[in-house]
Structure 1
Amino acid sequence: MKRIITKVAVLGSGIMGSRIACHFANIGVEVLLLDIAPKELNADEQVKGLTLENKKVKNRIVDASLQNTLKSNPSPVYSKSVISRITTGNFEDNMKDIATCDWVIEVVVENLDIKKQVYVQVEQFRKPGTLITSNTSGIPIHLMTEGRSEDFKKHFCGTHFFNPPRYLRLLEIIPTPYTEQSIVDFLMHYGDLYLGKTTVLCKDTPAFIANRVGVFSIMSLLHLVQKMDLTVEEVDKFSGPALGRPKSATFRTSDVVGLDTMINVANGLSQNAPDDEAKAAFELPDYVRKMQENKWLGDKTKQGFYKKIKGENGKSEILALDLKTLEYRPQQKVKSETLEATKKIDNLQERMRVYARGKDKAGEFFRVSFAGLFEYVSNRIPEISDELYKIDDAMRAGFGWELGPFEVWDALGVKEGIEIMKDQGKKPAQWVVDMLESGNTSFYKVDNGIKNYYDIPSKNYKNIPGTEEYIILDNIRPGKTIWKNAGTTLTDLGDGILNLEFHTKMNTIGGEVLEGINKAIDIAEKDYKGLVIGNDGANFSAGANVGMIFMMAVEQEWDEVNMAIKMFQNTSMRIRYSSIPVVLAPYNLTLGGGCEFCLHADHVQLHAETYMGLVEFGVGLIPGGGGSKEFALRASDEYKEGQIDQNVLKDKFLTIAMAKVSTSAQEAFELGYLKEGKFSITMNRSRLIADAKQKALELFNAGYVQLSPRKDIKVLGDSGLGMVYAGANSMRSGNYISEYDQKISQKLGYVMCGGDLSAPTQVTEQYLLDLEREAFLSLCAEKKTLERIQSILTTGKPLRN
């Protein structure tokens, strides 16, 4: 049966319900968001003389919940425009409307009796064959089907989203014994392709997979604090980015999520998993009990493991909790030779090995915590999963770990990991010992570019289901590298398509990246069908290497600066005017030069979470790699007979002058960084390179023709400059911008208006590029620009001078 989802009902508008509704709206689905109707009027409604039957009163709870969610930061929606896809209502008046929905998602309070009451209503109106799922995180899924019809049971499943649903990639699918296999298959595929999730098939066991392992890991660390006499700051330093974990690490994450949430899950596991050999880990340490009694639950109560206060100088200061005295004190700096050693190592697997050999407290922390984690996850098979890769998938996607526990174990070496465990009085499950005895020495291995996992029953390696549709560069790079230099690698993706990846710090763009792009296009034009520019790093590109520009400017090597800018511009133009299609695959940070390359691509295949912008104003410059030229060109293409051209120019100008950065791929289009018909959005980041490759093939097979540089760009000259100068003067007079901001604005306006021309004129792209380069070069010579660049390089913060 072909199943298409055009409308979804979300029952329950709390934090999760509203955010799930927003994410479905993000992908273009119509959403019906319902909640209970109030039982009594509030004071405002009484004053207005309203009754409980008034529609606004009945929808008060759901409307207020949705509005609160929309105010949250980061935003749950890709763009304000998607909100129109959400219709609100209440259980009394609108439950009948679920008959028009293809999928009903229940997200009401975690109480089995209440959920069952809702399902009674759902059965009255739900049309046969409609999907019905629950977002519960703690109640056994099979208990919810008691008393339900056969059709309900066949189409019912657990779908556990992680909060916030837009940003956390995990979606756990938990079938019951009654769930049809076709429903499970559909949900696994839909979650992956359309919702952009890592879908993990789970057994109906307490807390499923991610929370079972994740909460064990956190609770173990809470106990380890006392055993090793650790501070809050030490634990967060040791368990953060150095381990490939989020910056919020352990205690800051607890404050954000809420200590009460963690306690509830831990208590639930303690009660519902009586046979868990590590049950003691879920018992609350004394200091956590005390925090619970004091209602120090984290951000929601304004204090938890950390507390923000106003200091003597009026500035905000964040204090840390002393876990011995339970008093707040100024944060202490954490020093560690092991952490210092890991800072120099970009490769995370290699960093794990250095961490494990550490001789100080950080090294000991690593060995103690991972010995317990290795033992725990190996013992959870086959209880929570038959396959080890599901545990790693769940921890990466649900908790933001760069490496899952079995992947860390592999990085250390399975035998070496067991030795660490023995030293800590731990031991692996028998199947790990059997694996080594059968001659298999790792949990994963890559074969022909495909990552395989060790299958315990067969004692052999199998493909991870679904990943054959992904292109993971780390897996195919060996044996497929065509060319490389210090900052880039060119890889053969097959079918005549190449991929160029950056691997500089933050994927910044310097001479080696520019060389790599030009070399890649040379090779592709000679022997291949197309080129993708994309990578698997944390960000696509943080922009040009401003440190290099700063050094050349300080040394007043103006010829070198001019040549560097010209090479950057020429590379952007090469991307646009090559004889083969060039597709860029950006995601996350795509700033400055990274954005400029996208502006010139034949097609941009971008991830939904792409934060794109021309941000050069922040360092006292204008876009100099073709970005200023390109926005003038795009303004020209939007000028229409009978409209005021200056208004179009103003919008384009302000996007650059205000350094606007999109908060999503959709917003990148709305800001003008993407052109209609020239971009596509990939929801699942794992599919991005594969989708970009497919688009390059499509362009080639459609008969790609090399373009010619434009000579018909309309610029406004003095009439546009008047608008720019007047606007900048007004902003300066109102103290909205500094005097130097005004100067940069005038430089940008001069470029986008084509210079001091007496009348609107048609010019070439090269004419605008020359103006752009001249303006960029002149700003590099300004002391205030150098001060701004220096501030970014030394403090990471912009300077307004």
Structure 2
Amino acid sequence: MTELTQAWGVATSGCRRAVVIGAGSMGAGIAAQFANAGVPVDLLDIPAEGNRNARAEAGIAAQLKAGGFAGPGPAALVRPGNVEDDIARIAEADWIIEAVIENLEVKRALFAKVAPLLAPGAVVSSNTSTILRELLTEGFGADFAARFAISHFFNPPRHMALLELVAEDGGPAQAFIRKAGRAVLGKTVIDCRDTPGFIANRIGCTWMSIAMVEALRLGLTIEEADAVQTVFGIPRTGVFGLSDLVGVDMIPSIWGSLMGELPAGDAINRFDLPANALVRDMIAKGRFGRKSGAGFYRKAADGSREVIDPATGEYRAVQPVTVPGGGKDLAALLADQGKLGAYAREVLGEVLRYAAAHVAEISTGPAALDAALELGFAWRKGPFAIARGLDAASRAALTLPAMPAVVKDAAAQDPLDRAKAAGAKLAGNASAGLWDLGDGVGCLELTTKMNAVDDGVFDMIEETLGRMGGAVKALVVGNHDPRAFSAGANLARFVGMIESANWGAIGGFIARGHALYPLLRQAPVPSVAAVQGITLGGGCELTLHCAARVVHLEAKIGLPEHTLGILPGWGGCTRLTARLGAAKAFAALTQPRPAGSAREAVTLGFLDPATTQVVMHADDRIGAAMQTALAMIDGYTPLAPERITTGGAEEAEAILAPRREMVAAGKLSAADLAVQEHIASVITGGPLGGELAEEDLRALEARAFVEMMQVPLTLARIKHILETGKPLKT
């Protein structure tokens, strides 16, 4: 596998090549996501003067700058062009996505050119957020309509997980986009009815109208209203902060369009946001939000935050808000008899009643509606999940109707979900568990905070090793925590050991990892790490000792121990040196930050391209890892310990020479150089070097780790990152 090998599931998705028409931020971002999956894509726009492909090329460049690509490599898969010279490329594609301006006639004129060029089986979709599918397909015939869908992406396409789909029920476009949207683009695909605003914008924009209009009517300050919203589970921006992010100047067009499509009695028309006097005044004064540097909030000259005062229209300092229930107790807030409680009851009641009234009209059910709000607007819980969690008094205060039950899709469960539902636990303790996924595949699940590695995890690895080759024919290492595969060792534990100078305990903890991790790598059955989120330090080392890896595209992987004044102590130095050689291992071990994606982790050396598969949808990891493990069982040969050729002090000095120059130039501190000297000495085999066994290099790791823990600055570094989450600058 090279860096651009296709992601897991792409080969069976039916999407071998794509075309995206429209090279703005949305279209170019969608094209970048195809490339991130390893799928070639043409990005077309209208021709420019001179360089006729300039608009498409600018879209690619903008995505490189904005982070739409998961590293620089995927950009090579995007071929720029224009809709006059290169329109014939449509015949090569399986999926053509239109992402041009929101104008019905412009879109229909484009589809008239696209339709005759479609290859057999190809599908077409529009990224509209406001125009109905029936209007886009009118007059194009039944075949085109069956192959046409609305695929409503959210910006930025790489990171926003929701894809709303409006397609002919049971038709080829629906089946194709459901599958390819997940496997290729990593999206959770939600079926929507062909109604204005679909699901997320219909409910989300209505919520924003209700929340903003009612806050101003009831005389709340902007920060009071936003503080109340966060108790509902809305992101910390609140509703007014979200409006700044969207753009206050977009309210007349986005809300106006939706309002025009819906009946006069609809809540979005009753709570008329575009007509609000403050909103109109802000637009007239160019206070558009973040894009203009000032909206409902702005940053003052001294860096502090200011907020607009609705009574005067002028800015003032943001004031702290005390919310009933401490900002975490929704029931206490709803029971409050002051203005904040009244506001909370009015807004939440209107939104929940609105969702209940329209769920059947706009979606396939409460679960789909909740998912759309959770993924499209980042609500912690959707409306029906919120209602389900209310006590009787809160429900009565909101005057809610009978709310339909939320039925989860059983097909969405992965093998670990099913194992847990069946109670198929083979062993467990407070830190980890071993589950039976079926077909002889076990799953080692870490369950500590951020899945940090501790003695309990080591106990469960030891228990698991004892079952491998018996009941466990293959092993998946993975969990359901969306934040982290494993953040590494529990640093707080090291603080106590350092402060008590218990160097023996530190050495023993390191020795245990050195004993168990290689046994996992050399086990008689294959092991596959299912990786997502933060995967750092000892968590990264755990993946390095598995036989293979299935990694979500957005995993953040690295060995940042050098920023703490130490080095990887559980075989990370050894494994990277064995695979990459000392010079490349040193570059990886001294990276200033973790890799920002699985693709980048391959480039930087943290992942072995030969034994790593990228997966685009995080929820597919466990299933993909299980399939990978099953495929490895027959004929599996355990991985043997390696001998590593090292160059000793001479090689270390060659590696360190550029870093010494950085110190002389003031670009690297002497303290950081001292840490890097330890790393270089270990990976080059100590002063003498030579051909060493893995265990010899691990012994050097362990000795250096304990020595580096005894440097006073190391304790300060560890405490600083525990307190601030950021490395200490030295």
Common topology (TM > 0.5): yes
Separation in structure 1 between the aligned mates of residue 92 and residue 40 of structure 2, nearest angstrom? 11
**Which residue does 2:182 correspond to in 1?**
192
Is the counterpart of residue 600 in structure 1 residue 573 in structure 2? no
Contact kept in structure 2, 1:379 and 1:428, CA below 8 Å: no
**Which residue does 1:300 correspond to in 2?**
291
Segment of structure 1 superposing worse, 374-383 or 487-496 = 487-496
Is the counterpart of residue 212 in structure 1 residue 156 in structure 2? no
Cα pair distance change 1:307/1:528, threshold 3 Å: same
Cα pair distance change 1:518/1:376, threshold 3 Å: farther
Contact kept in structure 2, 1:507 and 1:541, CA below 8 Å: yes
**Which residue does 2:363 correspond to in 1?**
385
Contact kept in structure 2, 1:540 and 1:587, CA below 8 Å: yes
Letter in 2 for 1:225: A
Cα pair distance change 1:100/1:696, threshold 3 Å: closer
Match of 1:487 among 403, 424, 431: 431
Letter in 1 for 2:296: F
SS at match of 1:173: strand
Segment of structure 1 superposing worse, 740-749 or 685-694 = 685-694
Separation in structure 1 between the aligned mates of residue 295 and residue 725 of structure 2, nearest angstrom? 28
**Correspondence 1:250-289 to 2 at 5 A:** 250-274=239-263, 277-279=266-268, 280-284=270-274, 285-289=276-280
**Which residue does 2:708 correspond to in 1?**
779
SS at match of 1:6: coil
SS at match of 2:81: strand
Aligned length: 716
- The alpha carbon displacement at 1:613 in A equals 0.6
Match of 2:314 among 309, 323, 327: 327
**Which residue does 2:600 correspond to in 1?**
667
Separation in structure 1 between the aligned mates of residue 217 and residue 520 of structure 2, nearest angstrom? 58
- The alpha carbon displacement at 1:219 in A equals 2.4
**Which residue does 1:35 correspond to in 2?**
45
Is the counterpart of residue 131 in structure 1 residue 123 in structure 2? yes
Deviation per CA, 1:43-70: give whole Å up to 9, x if none. Answer: xxxxxxxxx4x4x1x2233322332232
**Correspondence 1:426-505 to 2 at 5 A:** 426-428=399-401, 432=403, 443-444=405-406, 452-453=407-408, 464=409, 466-467=411-412, 470-471=414-415, 473=417, 476=420, 479-505=423-449
**Which residue does 1:745 correspond to in 2?**
676
Separation in structure 2 between the aligned mates of residue 707 and residue 238 of structure 1, nearest angstrom? 56
SS at match of 1:88: strand
Deviation per CA, 1:518-567: give whole Å up to 9, x if none. Answer: 33333445422222221111222222211111121012111111111222
Separation in structure 2 between the aligned mates of residue 561 and residue 326 of structure 1, nearest angstrom? 60
SS at match of 1:762: strand
**Which residue does 1:793 correspond to in 2?**
722
Contact kept in structure 1, 2:660 and 2:673, CA below 8 Å: yes
SS at match of 2:484: coil
Is the counterpart of residue 726 in structure 1 residue 657 in structure 2? yes
Segment of structure 1 superposing worse, 117-126 or 370-379 = 117-126
Match of 2:397 among 412, 415, 423: 423
Separation in structure 2 between the aligned mates of residue 206 and residue 144 of structure 1, nearest angstrom? 13
Segment of structure 1 superposing worse, 605-614 or 82-91 = 82-91
Contact kept in structure 2, 1:175 and 1:184, CA below 8 Å: yes
RMSD of aligned alpha carbons: 2.8
Cα pair distance change 1:656/1:231, threshold 3 Å: farther
Deviation per CA, 1:101-120: give whole Å up to 9, x if none. Answer: 22221111001122122223
Cα pair distance change 1:627/1:22, threshold 3 Å: same
**Which residue does 2:620 correspond to in 1?**
687
Deviation per CA, 1:152-187: give whole Å up to 9, x if none. Answer: 2332111111111111111111125xx771321122
- The alpha carbon displacement at 1:725 in A equals 3.3
SS at match of 2:508: helix
Segment of structure 1 superposing worse, 157-166 or 123-132 = 123-132
Identity %: 32
Match of 1:614 among 559, 566, 571: 559
Q: Which has the higher contact order (CA 8 A, sep 6+)?
A: 2
Where do 5+ consecutive residues of structure 1 fail to align?
39-51, 343-350, 436-442, 445-451, 454-463, 637-648
Deviation per CA, 1:392-447: give whole Å up to 9, x if none. Answer: 221222223343222233333xxx36x524313x3325xx3xx6xxxxxxx24xxx
**Which residue does 1:642 correspond to in 2?**
none
Contact kept in structure 2, 1:338 and 1:359, CA below 8 Å: no
Deviation per CA, 1:708-761: give whole Å up to 9, x if none. Answer: 433x1111102211113322311111111111001001011111111001xx51
Deviation per CA, 1:447-493: give whole Å up to 9, x if none. Answer: xxxxx44xxxxxxxxxx27425x346398257233333222233332
**Correspondence 1:160-199 to 2 at 5 A:** 160-175=152-167, 181-199=171-189
**Which residue does 1:47 correspond to in 2?**
none
Segment of structure 1 superposing worse, 607-616 or 401-410 = 401-410
Separation in structure 2 between the aligned mates of residue 488 and residue 262 of structure 1, nearest angstrom? 49
**Which residue does 2:53 correspond to in 1?**
59
Separation in structure 2 between the aligned mates of residue 382 and residue 619 of structure 1, nearest angstrom? 54
Where do 5+ consecutive residues of structure 2 fail to align?
1-11
Match of 2:92 among 72, 75, 100: 100
Is the counterpart of residue 140 in structure 1 residue 132 in structure 2? yes
Contact kept in structure 2, 1:371 and 1:420, CA below 8 Å: no
Letter in 2 for 1:36: I
Contact kept in structure 2, 1:352 and 1:408, CA below 8 Å: no
Separation in structure 2 between the aligned mates of residue 531 and residue 756 of structure 1, nearest angstrom? 39
Is the counterpart of residue 715 in structure 1 residue 646 in structure 2? yes
Contact kept in structure 2, 1:270 and 1:283, CA below 8 Å: no
Contact kept in structure 1, 2:520 and 2:545, CA below 8 Å: yes
Deviation per CA, 1:272-309: give whole Å up to 9, x if none. Answer: 11165423235344322322222222222122233234
Cα pair distance change 1:582/1:392, threshold 3 Å: same
Separation in structure 1 between the aligned mates of residue 463 and residue 85 of structure 2, nearest angstrom? 64
Letter in 1 for 2:58: A
Separation in structure 1 between the aligned mates of residue 563 and residue 296 of structure 2, nearest angstrom? 34
Separation in structure 1 between the aligned mates of residue 332 and residue 463 of structure 2, nearest angstrom? 36
**Which residue does 1:509 correspond to in 2?**
453
Letter in 2 for 1:542: A
Separation in structure 2 between the aligned mates of residue 185 and residue 613 of structure 1, nearest angstrom? 38
**Which residue does 2:81 correspond to in 1?**
89
- The alpha carbon displacement at 1:501 in A equals 2.3
Letter in 1 for 2:205: V
Cα pair distance change 1:580/1:735, threshold 3 Å: same
**Which residue does 1:447 correspond to in 2?**
none
Contact kept in structure 2, 1:34 and 1:91, CA below 8 Å: yes
- The alpha carbon displacement at 1:236 in A equals 4.3
**Correspondence 1:335-350 to 2 at 5 A:** 335-336=322-323, 338-339=325-326, 342=328
Separation in structure 2 between the aligned mates of residue 244 and residue 524 of structure 1, nearest angstrom? 43
Contact kept in structure 2, 1:542 and 1:590, CA below 8 Å: yes
- The alpha carbon displacement at 1:149 in A equals 4.2
Separation in structure 1 between the aligned mates of residue 244 and residue 385 of structure 2, nearest angstrom? 28
- The alpha carbon displacement at 1:227 in A equals 5.4
**Which residue does 2:8 correspond to in 1?**
none
Match of 1:403 among 342, 363, 381: 381
**Which residue does 1:79 correspond to in 2?**
71
